[in-house]
Amino acid sequence: MNAIPFLLIMALIVWYWQINLRAREHAIRQCRLICNDMKLQLLDQTVALASMAIQLEKRYQIRLVRKYRFEISQDGFNRYQGCMKLHGLKLQYAEFNLPDGTVIMDRDNRQVH
């Protein structure tokens, strides 16, 4: 009988891990698409979770908000920082700190700044 709580905790840990892996893969796909449009190279192994929070939205829906940091390159030699914010699996924005200035793309891949 003592094994049931342990198994439930292990199942929750595996579930949480799987959800975070799926969100990271989604973030990489979204970022790669934007980088291709902007003629930038995403350095895949640099995508990392920077922060995660729980947000209460309209109609009392709970949504995980994740912020990922990554590195990009224009020429293959120099590295620049970027970040993106996801609400659930929906992209809110992607920010690229390039030498010409910061570029912010919204969820519709439109340049905001």
Summarize pLDDT for 49-77 with one digit per residue, the tens.
Answer: 999 999 888 888 888 899 999 999 988 88
Residue 73 lies in a domain: yes
Instruction: Give the count of domains, the chain.
Output: 1
Length of the chain: 113
> Between residues 98 and 112, which one has the greater pLDDT?
98
* Mean pLDDT on 33-59: 88
Structure tokens of 3? 């094994």
Cα three-residue angle 103-55-34, rounded to 5 degrees:
25
Residue 95 lies in a domain: yes
Smallest Cα–Cα separation from 88: which of 46, 112, 56? 56
Q: Which residues pair with 73 in a beta bridge?
A: 41
Residue 82 lies in a domain: yes
Residue 111 lies in a domain: no
Q: Give me the pLDDT at residue 15, please.
A: 92
* Mean pLDDT on 81-110: 87
Residue 38 lies in a domain: yes
Parent domain of 29 = 3-106
Determine how β-strand 80-87 pairs with β-strand 41-56: unpaired
Cβ atoms within 10 Å, residue 107: 14
HSE, side-chain direction, 13 A CA sphere, residue 31: 30
Residue 65 lies in a domain: yes
**Alpha helices, DSSP H, located in the chain:** 3-37
Q: Give me the pLDDT at residue 3, please.
A: 86
Residue 113 lies in a domain: no
Residue 112 lies in a domain: no
* Mean pLDDT on 92-100: 91
* Mean pLDDT on 18-42: 90
